[in-house]
């Protein structure tokens, strides 16, 4: 599906051109206009621009502060947020050897977008925030700091980056996708990184951000084109992937829904109620004891039966009868009134004609108690023993709900259980008493009363522990150890809780405390205790500020064909002049082999001499019988024997011609010599104005000093700090990359779950079990499961794509 329609969709989807006029204001950020640069900014003055009658601004001095206000920054960044396509345009004339920042958008240490030019290293550097939530740097070897006008356009479109200088495409790369998820409080600086570093010196004009990938066309209209950008292509591919996944998920859900529909066909569902093992339908009404109950949407709701005042006829009285909740009047002939004559064992019954008639009574049972313990009852003929169990004779069945039968001296009655009150005056039906709501509880301070059936309980408030059933006292979490304070924090007990405060030398919220080191730990070091740093491998010093020179300290022994080169935090064995690596890249330089300069033409022998290859070099020999001059050829020019000269592009290197051989070396720095060139020997510059301040503002470096900060190698050059990414060895044939914490360079790993970066080739595809074509790198949930994630994965050793299952 995705492969067959992709070209057609691309043709229909991409028709886009940009002209230099009439750009939508919502897609344009004019930095000079938004900052109102024409107003007075110390250190900035108005000058003539690139074109006649155009206006530019000269940036000079190092005490200026060209920064957008909080409100202006927010208005500018509101347009930029969420964008993955934009073009940075500017026209500039940078002073020679200056290293400065043209535009910087950063929040704290996080650089969301920054463009700088290094005249010291002839580089253009772009720093930006990626979708992987880290700062990424791209370095372009190119010199803008040459004192001449240049028009610069840098375009980012998803993973495609293009650099134009003077309307010529200089570089085009595939990079990590940018993320302009810029937080509030982010600052925008022009011509500097902050108040201390990155000061641009020279002239700038027309600094703009166009929120479109082909924005460079407004600067160079002849470059107009209609081809799709990488972001356009990736966006369409992503949409196709999403549609594939939605289609697969929808198909699976539809199939399962159809199965359920067939199973439920003909069923009528309603919410029922369950009570005492009985099932009641919705809105069904029934009587439970002396309560009217109703099932409403699955919930049972009951209320007491209302009893009206009984209206009894003459010669009758209201009374409870078994099975009734309300009193009823007693009818003649239905209720029997018994009478016993003490001297005669007869029973008289009131008949329907309201006359008394005698009924013969059966004999009374023999009693086992003494006659003094025998009592006569008013409602029966026979005597009973004192303490007779009347409830056992069946009276307990009259006590229905939350009620119990109680024996009396001459009979029995119903009594409500503790915590209940009577619903009727005979106490046959009783309901719970809410002691908490009625204030009939004994809960004391620091507790909360909670009602229970027939009783209540006192629950301790948070931060208190129980003394007895009714009272609680304060709990000292600090003494008991039941607190959440960090091991480097102090615990303070408080009413109802506790507080945590970090110990001196630690910072944090008390729950989490970390050691604080004055001046911080440099070069990836960790502050493990107050003013105590543990350094990464390759660094030492109280603040890990000193690089260990593995070469000079004798830690490294390189092959004789290689020389040890010290780098910040590490080293490598580099092939000596006259040797090159054979592609094995051994760590100690064993892979260095001789270069045959004579065969490859990489020699400088004059025409009257013959080149002889030697191990690590060559020799220019004069044929027998000839009188050779010993002259040399260097960069197309003839240099006489024993002639000494300075390189045109590097005034700090000196070359000489020695009998047909050109020998070059760096100028020897003798700081005792008053005529020493401090440009070539910055360490010999004693002026305070040539010193630099570290990024944290606490350390000072002399001219020529180097250090590493946040994976950037920095150097102080005549009072200016220039930083560039720490060089990393190339990681070849590696699909999964990870940068360990505290390190700067990536390592190869085999587990994709540990990887920071996964390389995928979207031109490769897989076919899943349902025949759906998937692009390499895409992932989806396996049909019929919720815990199996599938991914289309292409290995570098094979062009075949396969589907891998990853279970979670």
Distance (Å, whole) CA 90 – CA 69: 21
Q: Give the contacts of 254 (CB within 8 A, at least 6 positions apart).
A: none
- For residues 146 and 96, is the Cβ–Cβ distance under 8 A? yes
In which order are the strands placed within the sheet that holds 706-709?
706-709, 712-717, 720-725
pLDDT at 153 (0 to 100)? 92
Distance (Å, whole) CA 310 – CA 290: 17
Paired strand residues for 502: 489
Please state, as a whole number, how many other Cβ atoms lie within 10 Å of the Cβ of residue 248. 18
pLDDT at 224 (0 to 100)? 58
- For residues 204 and 56, is the Cβ–Cβ distance under 8 A? yes
pLDDT at 16 (0 to 100)? 39
CB-based burial label for 723 (10 Å; 0-12, 13-18, 19+): buried
pLDDT at 103 (0 to 100)? 95
Paired strand residues for 515: 506
pTM of the shown model: 0.43
Please report, to the nearest 10 degrees, the dihedral formed by the alpha carbons of residues 514, 517, 518, 520 taken in order: -100
| Closest C-alpha to 381, from 397, 365, 394 | 365
Which residues in 543-571 are b (16+ Cβ under 10 Å) and which e? bbbebbebbeeeebebbebbbbebbbbbb
| Closest C-alpha to 106, from 166, 7, 195, 212 | 195
Q: How many CA atoms lie within 13 A of 379 on its CB side?
A: 6
| Closest C-alpha to 152, from 231, 205, 83, 225 | 205
SS3 of 316-378: the string is CCEECCCCCCCCEECCCCCCCCCCEECCEEEEEEECCCCCEEEEECCCCCCCCCCHHHEECCC
* Backbone torsions φ then ψ of 552, nearest 5 degrees: -80, -25
- For residues 458 and 441, is the Cβ–Cβ distance under 8 A? yes
- For residues 538 and 569, is the Cβ–Cβ distance under 8 A? yes
Distance (Å, whole) CA 115 – CA 189: 11
Distance (Å, whole) CA 739 – CA 732: 15
Distance (Å, whole) CA 441 – CA 455: 9
Could you give the C-alpha distances from 356 to 316, 333, 349, 363, 380, in angstroms and in order?
A: 16, 12, 6, 21, 17
| Closest C-alpha to 579, from 593, 558, 565 | 593
Residue 76: both structure tokens together: 């500018």
| Closest C-alpha to 643, from 635, 651, 653, 631 | 631
Residue 319: both structure tokens together: 């009374």
Helix (H) or strand (E) holding 422: strand 420-422
Strand residue runs (E) in 453-523: 455-460, 464-466, 472-474, 489-494, 497-502, 506-508, 513-515
Distance (Å, whole) CA 321 – CA 140: 103
Residue 562: both structure tokens together: 């290689």
Q: Contacts for 267-272 with beta carbons within 8 Å, 24 or more apart?
A: 271/297, 271/298, 272/298
pLDDT at 350 (0 to 100)? 55
Among positive and negative, which fits the CA dihedral 173, 176, 180, 184?
negative
Distance (Å, whole) CA 585 – CA 732: 11
- For residues 197 and 721, is the Cβ–Cβ distance under 8 A? yes
Question: Strand, helix or coil at 639?
Answer: strand
Residue 347: both structure tokens together: 């029973």
* Backbone torsions φ then ψ of 372, nearest 5 degrees: -70, -20
Residue 327: both structure tokens together: 């009193």
pLDDT at 112 (0 to 100)? 92
Quickly count helices (H) and strands (E) in the chain.
7, 65
Which residues of the chain have a pLDDT value below 70? 1-22, 39-40, 222-235, 266, 268, 322-323, 329-362, 519, 607, 625-627, 688-689, 695-698, 729-733, 735, 741-742, 751-764, 776-777, 783-788, 793-808
Distance (Å, whole) CA 278 – CA 172: 78
Residue 50: both structure tokens together: 């690139």
Which residues in 774-795 are b (16+ Cβ under 10 Å) and which e? bbbbbebebbeeeeeebbbbbe
Among positive and negative, which fits the CA dihedral 77, 78, 82, 85?
negative
Helix (H) or strand (E) holding 720: strand 720-725
- For residues 50 and 205, is the Cβ–Cβ distance under 8 A? yes
pLDDT at 795 (0 to 100)? 45
Could you give the C-alpha distances from 742 to 129, 191, 442, 531, 710, in angstroms and in order?
A: 19, 31, 61, 19, 9
- For the chain, the C-alpha Rg in angstroms (whole number) is 48
Which residues in 695-719 are b (16+ Cβ under 10 Å) and which e? beeebebbbbbebbbebbbbbbbbb
Could you give the C-alpha distances from 490 to 159, 481, 497, 504, 516, in angstroms and in order?
A: 50, 12, 14, 10, 16
Q: Contacts for 768-776 with beta carbons within 8 Å, 24 or more apart?
A: 768/248, 768/803, 770/248, 770/251, 772/1, 772/244, 772/247, 772/248, 773/1, 773/2, 773/3, 773/244, 774/241, 774/244, 774/803, 775/2, 775/237, 775/240, 775/241, 776/801
Distance (Å, whole) CA 105 – CA 70: 12
């Amino acid at each position: 599906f995705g492969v067959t329609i992709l070209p057609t969709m691309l043709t229909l989807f991409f028709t886009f051109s940009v002209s230099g006029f009439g750009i939508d204001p919502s897609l344009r950020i004019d930095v000079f206009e938004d900052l109102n640069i024409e107003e007075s900014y110390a250190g900035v003055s108005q000058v003539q621009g690139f074109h006649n009658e155009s206006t530019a601004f000269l940036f000079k001095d190092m005490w200026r502060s060209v920064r957008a206000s909080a409100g202006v920054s927010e208005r500018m960044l509101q347009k930029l947020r969420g964008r993955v396509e934009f073009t940075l345009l500017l026209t500039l004339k940078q002073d020679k050897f200056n290293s400065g920042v043209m535009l910087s958008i950063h929040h704290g240490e996080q650089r969301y977008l920054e463009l700088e030019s290094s005249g010291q290293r002839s580089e253009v550097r772009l720093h930006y925030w990626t979708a992987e939530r880290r700062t990424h740097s791209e370095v372009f070897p190119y010199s803008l700091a040459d004192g001449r006008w240049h028009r610069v356009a840098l375009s980012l479109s998803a993973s495609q980056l293009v650099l134009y200088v003077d309307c010529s495409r200089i570089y085009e790369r595939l990079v990590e996708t940018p993320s302009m998820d810029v937080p509030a409080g982010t600052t925008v600086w022009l011509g500097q990184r902050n108040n201390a570093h990155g000061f641009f010196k020279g002239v700038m004009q027309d600094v703009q951000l166009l929120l479109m990938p082909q924005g460079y066309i407004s600067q160079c209209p002849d470059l107009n084109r209609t081809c799709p950008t990488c972001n356009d292509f990736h966006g369409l591919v992503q949409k196709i992937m999403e549609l594939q996944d939605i289609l697969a998920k929808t198909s699976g859900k539809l199939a399962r829904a159809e199965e359920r529909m067939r199973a439920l066909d003909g069923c009528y569902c309603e919410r029922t109620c369950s009570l005492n093992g009985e099932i009641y339908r919705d809105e069904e009404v029934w009587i439970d004891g002396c309560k009217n109950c109703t099932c409403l949407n699955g919930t049972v709701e009951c209320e007491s039966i209302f009893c009206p005042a009984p209206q009894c006829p003459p010669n009758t009285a209201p009374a409870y009868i078994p099975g009734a909740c309300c009193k009823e009047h007693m009818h003649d002939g239905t209720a029997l009134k018994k009478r016993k004559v003490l001297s005669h064992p007869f029973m008289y019954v009131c008949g329907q004609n309201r006359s008394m008639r005698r009924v013969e009574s059966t004999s009374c049972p023999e009693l086992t108690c003494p006659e003094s313990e025998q009592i006569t009852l008013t409602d029966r003929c026979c005597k009973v023993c004192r303490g007779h169990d009347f409830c056992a004779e069946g009276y307990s069945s009259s006590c229905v709900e939350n009620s119990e039968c109680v024996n009396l001296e001459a009979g029995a009655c119903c009594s409500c259980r503790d915590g209940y009150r009577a619903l009727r005056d005979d106490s046959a039906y009783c309901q719970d008493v809410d002691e908490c709501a009625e204030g009939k509880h004994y809960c004391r301070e620091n507790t909360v009363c909670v009602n229970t059936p027939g009783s209540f309980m006192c629950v301790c408030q948070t931060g208190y522990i129980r003394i007895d059933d009714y009272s609680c006292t304060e709990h000292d979490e600090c003494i008991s150890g039941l607190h959440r304070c960090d091991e480097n924090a102090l615990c303070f007990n408080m009413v109802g809780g506790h507080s945590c405060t970090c110990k001196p030398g630690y910072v944090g919220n008390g729950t989490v405390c970390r050691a604080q080191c004055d001046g911080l730990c440099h070069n990836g070091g960790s502050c493990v205790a107050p003013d105590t740093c543990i350094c990464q491998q390759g660094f030492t010093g109280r603040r890990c500020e000193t690089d260990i020179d593995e070469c000079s300290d004798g830690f490294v022994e390189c092959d004789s064909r290689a020389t040890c080169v010290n780098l910040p935090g590490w080293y490598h064995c580099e092939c000596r002049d006259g040797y090159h690596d054979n592609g094995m890249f051994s760590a100690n330089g064993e892979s260095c082999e001789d270069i045959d300069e004579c065969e490859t033409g990489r020699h400088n022998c004059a025409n009257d001499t013959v080149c002889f290859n030697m191990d690590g070099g060559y020799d220019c020999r004069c044929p027998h019988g000839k009188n050779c001059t010993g002259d040399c050829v260097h960069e197309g020019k003839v240099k006489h024997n024993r002639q000494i000269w300075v390189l045109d592009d590097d005034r700090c290197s000196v070359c000489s011609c020695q009998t047909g051989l050109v020998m070059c070396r760096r100028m020897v720095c003798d700081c005792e010599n008053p005529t020493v060139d401090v440009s070539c020997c910055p360490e010999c510059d004693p002026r305070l104005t040539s010193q630099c301040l570290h990024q944290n503002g606490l350390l000072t470096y002399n001219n020529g000093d180097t250090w590493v900060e946040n994976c950037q190698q920095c150097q102080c050059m005549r009072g200016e700090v220039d930083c560039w990414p720490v060089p990393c060895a190339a990681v070849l044939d590696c699909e999964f990359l990870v940068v360990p914490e505290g390190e700067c360079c990536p390592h190869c790993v085999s587990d994709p779950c540990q990887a920071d970066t996964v390389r995928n080739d979207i031109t490769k595809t897989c076919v899943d079990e349902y025949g759906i074509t998937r692009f390499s790198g895409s992932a989806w949930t396996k049909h019929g499961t919720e815990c199996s994630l599938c991914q289309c994965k292409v290995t570098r050793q094979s062009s075949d794509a396969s589907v891998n299952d990853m279970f979670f």
